[in-house]
Amino acid sequence: MYPLRRNRRLRTNESIRSLVRETIINPNDFIVPLFVVDGKGVKEEIASMPNYYRLSLDMLQKEAKELWKLGLKSVLLFVKVDDKLKDNSGKEALNPDGLMQRAIKTVKNAVPEMIVMTDVAMDPYSSFGHDGIVSEGKILNDDTNAVLAEMSLSHAKAGADVVAPSDMMDGRIFEIRTLLEDEGFCNTAIMSYSAKYASAFYGPFRDALDSAPVDKKDIPKDKKTYQMDYANREEAIRETLMDIDEGADIVMVKPGLCYLDIVREIKDTVNVPVAVYQVSGEYAMIKAAAEKGWLDHDAVMLEQITAIKRAGASLIASYFAKDVVKLIN
Ligand code: PBG
């Protein structure tokens, strides 16, 4: 009697495979990142992100409605800020009539039930392309936190449901939570980029927002003094537990595919939802290989998204969200 167990029995055909499948992707898994620009009727393709666009507010409104029809229930807003409005203080980020604040209202007006998440970070507003105030070649931690808290409050006032600080300063979740509570925004959630690595996969995103660190004397050329060293695992747990203590409702690991060991470990350690950001470089790689005919776009896309969820993601921020949902619907 050999063998008693034949694992292939449950792989015989698609029907049986689907009955025993452990990880199923559905529209509720996704957060849709959106890039917003000023102007009218603007839908500009991002060179290093084929089929992904910068949208003006009128186009954003259309997009939000379309996403909602597809069953996608959350967006994560990023803004591309005019160079003239950039400085070293993040002043424009606090403008109640700024692009982000108008974008939040636009989505909420178009689809009131849509969960609006906002990027809280200084880099799109920074003349140096950094996520903090720069002084004497250093990124100031505590002064930056004060701006991030005010920025979060400003987004909450404009109607954001979730603020998502993506900077990696120490203690910013506490500062943000405290100010939101003090100002009566006790229901505004915080999704913290808790384990965000200093990654080369962010390149296309920085093209999209024109937000890369500038190449100037005495300005750090990278973000390695605040984003995490990709060689580290224990530090990711420490960062994440601290953010939860400070009041984060959702924690995040970023990027996705290269960091699934971290995702699983965090998922097994914490009891809050874990989000994963499949970043711009991961998107660009699949697009480029598919364009060359070297990889099957849809198959690789679905395999990667499923792997991210299997690793423990409750939520996935992905530029493929719409493509995946169209494919599985
Ligand atoms: C910056 C920010 C980045 C991303 C999200 N927020 C880039 C960076 O840290 O330089 C990257 C997202 C992506 O690559 O898709 N606050």
pLDDT, tens digit, 9 for 90 and up, residues 65-92: 999 999 999 999 999 999 999 999 999 9
| 84 carries an active-site annotation | no
Mean pLDDT value of segment 9-13: 97
Q: Does ligand 1 lie within 6 Å of residue 279's CB atom?
A: yes
Please report which confidence band the pLDDT of residue 158 belongs to, taking 50, 70 and 90 as the band edges: very high
* Per-residue model confidence (pLDDT) at position 146: 98
pLDDT tens, 170-207?
A: 999 999 999 999 999 999 999 999 999 999 999 999 99
* Per-residue model confidence (pLDDT) at position 1: 73
Q: Letter for the amino acid at 223?
A: K
Mean pLDDT of the chain: 97
What is the C-alpha to C-alpha distance for residues 190 and 255, in angstroms, rounded to an integer? Answer: 19
Atom of ligand 1 lying closest to residue 202 CA: 14
Q: Does ligand 1 lie within 6 Å of residue 280's CB atom?
A: yes
Angle between helices 234-246 and 260-269 (to 10 degrees): 50
What is the C-alpha to C-alpha distance for residues 278 and 201, in angstroms, rounded to an integer? Answer: 10
**CB-CB contact of 303 with 318 (8 Å):** no
Q: How many CB atoms lie within 10 A of CB 8?
A: 7
| 292 carries an active-site annotation | no
* Per-residue model confidence (pLDDT) at position 3: 86
Main-chain phi, psi angles of 52, to 5 degrees: -125, 145
DSSP 8-state symbol, 11:
G
Mean pLDDT value of segment 93-103: 98
Give all domains of the chain, ordered by start, each with its CATH number: 23-328 (3.20.20.70)
DSSP 8-state symbol, 103:
H
Please report which confidence band the pLDDT of residue 2 belongs to, taking 50, 70 and 90 as the band edges: confident
Q: Letter for the amino acid at 160?
A: A
